[in-house]
Structure 1
Amino acid sequence: MTIEAVEYLKSIKSVRDTTSQVFNFAVSNGGGHYFDLDLGQMPRVADFLCEIVKRDYGTEYASIPPHGRWQHLNHGHPGRVEGLIAQWRDSGVDEVEVARKLVDLLVFSVLVDAGAGNSWKFTVPGSSTSVGRSEGLAVASYYLFVEGSLSDDRDDPYKVTGRALSNFDAELFSRGFQVSEANPLAGAPGRVSLIQRLGAALLARPDIFGAEARPGALVDYLYAKSTVTSDAAGATSPTIDLQDVWDALMQGLTSIWPAGRTVVNGEPLGDAWRLDTKAAASSDHTPAGVPSDIVTFHKLTQWLCYSLLVPLERYGYKFRISNKSLQTGLPEYRNGGLFYDFGVLKLKSDALKGGLAFSAQLRDAGHDASDTIPTFEPHQGAIVEWRCLTVGLLDSLLPLVNKKLEYELGLPQLIEAGSWKAGREIAAKLRPATGGPPIELYSDGTVF
């Protein structure tokens, strides 16, 4: 495979390119190799989602924020992050350093955001409030950050540094995330290793992450790449392309991925997987030299991009960022579960039998697995195809919702106000005991 093919597979463009081939194949054939597809159910999804949007925002659609980790950090305490920013400003922290600190916090918080499982909860310090899943992981990461557990700067605890993360151990992780036998967190050892690898990655790239090996140094790295442009009113701003953000994250963080992922030319691709459906669907749109069976998601990098846009655009240098539409919907279990729970997607019988058999195998080994919910590993075709179809279905859902609302939401707003939240709410209605997804992922804590 050529260097150009590797670069393509690591690009943001490849995500919609590769997954859309699988989606279009499923549309033409009534499904893929693992799922049946019934687009006739999509209006029901749009109706359910619009009801949630109107309930939470009325008709103030412009107030819907883009999907990002910021909202999770504020869970249960609106303004938690804003209060921290005010504290920094009151103590004399300059605006660019405010942006660096926000990027520090958000990068770490996104990286620990793999599925937490159905049992784990984080109890907010000084209260009796407990929160699980993604929001619980976010709030736990916030407290680790403000306590200084992620910084090796004795004079400034509000940083994330490579040296601190490289020394982050299982004991500190268990304390920070309140992990115990009575409060198990899925994939805890894998998360610790991921944090340590993040520390090593930050230290290995001073050209991107600076002398302190901080995620926040991305602010300065991107500023050096920016050009000054003017808007229609004549106001000037440093401007960067989303591809600049993407390239910095991909170049700086690819090494955090564990062994065993898809590798080409000796280089790990990250969140990229082989899929037989893709090989069957491959078309002339696949560039020369690119294997016909590889699909890319790069969900972690996309989740980082989504989450970093707010601090980059609204704080510090206040970048203007072009080509944000290159990002896709996020192929994770809340968005994917929404379509499964409404019958847009249905596992084919052989795939369902295999998933239920694996659940039984896990139960026999002492794991907490349902006898009615199928379970798969991240590399298996059912999961990879599910994620591909989720990306395509989110693109298809957006115009349906906008027509019903008579307003042009952006895809990040659709995910924030609708699909992610709707996926959670339908899961709670259908599976009230756990609120879990209709398909479980057996993960090592590094798959999102």
Structure 2
Amino acid sequence: MTIDPVKYLKSICSVRETTSQVFQYACKNHGGNHFDLELSQMAPVADFLCSIIERDYGTNYVQIPSHGRWQHLNYGSQPRVESLIQQWTEAGVDKIEIARKLIDLFVLSVLVDAGAGNVWKYTIPGSANDTQQQVGRSEGLAVASYYMFAEGQFSSDPQDSFKVCGSALEGFSLQDFAKGFQISNANPMDGFEGRLQLIQRLGRALNSNADIFGPEGRPGGIVDYLYGLAKKTSGGECVIDLEDVWDALMAGLTSIWPAGRTVVNGEPLGDVWSLDTKADAVSSGVATAPENVPTDLVTFHKLTQWLCYSLLVPLEQYGHQFTITNKQLQTGLPEYRNGGLFYDFGVLKLKPEALERGLKLSVKLQKPNTTLPTFEPQDGAIVEWRCLTIGLLDYLLPIVNEKLGYQLSLPQLIEAGSWKAGREIAAKLRPETNGPPIDLHSDGTVF
């Protein structure tokens, strides 16, 4: 059977299939083309994760939430999202519109969530002068996006400020962005221009896909689109397949990704990259590629996956309260906290030639710490690192579950363990920045 390569490479199934082939090749050869792989070091990783889970949850594993943007928006144990829901409910907003508003906020917040760098911090409004609270990285971007949403900066509806409208995003200016995210010469953000352009392209995508995002061009319009696809049971359930959620996001948002990324048959694919290790896996017989699909391509679609993770709770718990099937198709997120965890524990080690290449770029870019390697997103070291991260998270889950005597889901493992553990080991080993062991020279749209 002939496979449409574009359809395949945009599918969620392709993420685990293409990246696992790189992981299998690395397992067979004790590494890939850019990293050595030492699986014996996974036991200390599992022990570290279990200690963090015990510290934060005891044995109350059922209380561990799935990984999602909600927790970041509530940084500092502040129920910001719940406060909005209460405000809307008391104002008589119906449950479907509450779901739309949550998805408006979550989509915008996720799409600005690529690495902000080691310097940028957001000062939370309302902090007392003597206890000003600053937060950086993913949580800082989340809290900043929350306050901008709550202030109506993303709405073009004069009657309702709690919306994200395509027309408002299209006209979003550099000054608006810098003010909202508190960016200055003293508080620089990595890739902020690329992030702004992503917001503007999101606005155009929302306005040009009315069938998915509705006449207002809102991310929350997807609630109504999915309701139209859902199977309604006799018991009143609305059942939707995760692939339908995925396909809607992919169809509606493909145009937001920067030019210069991988293109197949004239169509841009987003977070899809060429990797020599993948081609070697196929040529060596360790892996096979579907007919018509380039053998060197691996797919991540990290921000789309992060969106899926983050949208499932609003879709399941608010509005139509969808029942979503096939959630197991999602993979771990190939980003620097999960990947940094495995590098810091010695599961992964850059090969000498890759390390040398990365250190040269750090010097060229005049990085503050030139002892840490730096790579651009398309470099084989970054692409292979991300592939191996996905494979290692799948490998780690049953090890942790055996130690706990409980079956955590992969999203719970990421939330309670790997994401948090990656952050904590980074802070321990690099307290001056709390940053990852490998730097990404980012445009603000990768991870």
Distance in 2 of aligned mates of 1:371 and 1:254: 36
- 1:216 aligned to 2:223? no
TM superposition shift of 1:285: 3.5
Superposed CA offset, 1:277-326 (max 9, x none): 00000255311110000000000100000000000000000000000000
Aligned counterpart, 1:194: 198
- 1:419 aligned to 2:423? no
SS at match of 1:236: coil
Aligned counterpart, 2:436: 437
Counterpart of 2:337 in structure 1: which amino acid? R
Aligned counterpart, 1:89: 89
Aligned counterpart, 1:207: 211
- 1:166 aligned to 2:165? no
Contact between 1:240 and 1:320, CA under 8 Å: does it hold in 2? yes
Counterpart of 2:423 in structure 1: which amino acid? R
SS at match of 1:149: coil
Aligned counterpart, 2:66: 66
Counterpart of 1:124 in structure 2: which amino acid? I
SS at match of 2:395: helix
Unpaired runs of 5+ residues, structure 2, are none
Contact between 1:69 and 1:106, CA under 8 Å: does it hold in 2? yes
TM superposition shift of 1:371: 1.4
Distance in 1 of aligned mates of 2:244 and 2:299: 19
Aligned counterpart, 1:297: 300
Equivalent of residue 136 in structure 2, options 112, 132, 142:
132
What is the aligned-residue identity percentage? 69
Distance in 1 of aligned mates of 2:302 and 2:117: 19
Counterpart of 1:386 in structure 2: which amino acid? W
TM-score (norm 1): 0.97
Distance in 2 of aligned mates of 1:192 and 1:60: 41
Distance in 1 of aligned mates of 2:415 and 2:446: 21
Which structure 1 residue ranges, 4+ long, deviate > 2 Å from structure 2?
none
Superposed CA offset, 1:166-219 (max 9, x none): 000100000000000000000111111000000000001000000000000000
Aligned counterpart, 2:353: 350
SS at match of 1:346: strand
SS at match of 1:421: helix
Aligned counterpart, 1:381: 380
SS at match of 1:385: helix
Equivalent of residue 335 in structure 2, options 329, 332, 337:
332
TM superposition shift of 1:140: 0.1
SS at match of 1:76: helix
Contact between 1:202 and 1:213, CA under 8 Å: does it hold in 2? yes
- 1:361 aligned to 2:360? no
Aligned-residue RMSD, C-alpha? 0.9
Distance in 1 of aligned mates of 2:215 and 2:198: 21
Distance in 2 of aligned mates of 1:92 and 1:150: 22
Unpaired runs of 5+ residues, structure 1, are none
TM superposition shift of 1:55: 0.4
Contact between 1:114 and 1:447, CA under 8 Å: does it hold in 2? yes
TM superposition shift of 1:38: 0.1
Counterpart of 2:336 in structure 1: which amino acid? Y
Superposed CA offset, 1:330-376 (max 9, x none): 0000000000000000000000000000000000xxxx441110000
TM superposition shift of 1:3: 7.1
Distance in 1 of aligned mates of 2:288 and 2:148: 45
Counterpart of 1:43 in structure 2: which amino acid? A
SS at match of 2:349: strand
Distance in 1 of aligned mates of 2:362 and 2:10: 33
Distance in 1 of aligned mates of 2:433 and 2:113: 19
Contact between 1:362 and 1:369, CA under 8 Å: does it hold in 2? no
Aligned counterpart, 1:114: 114
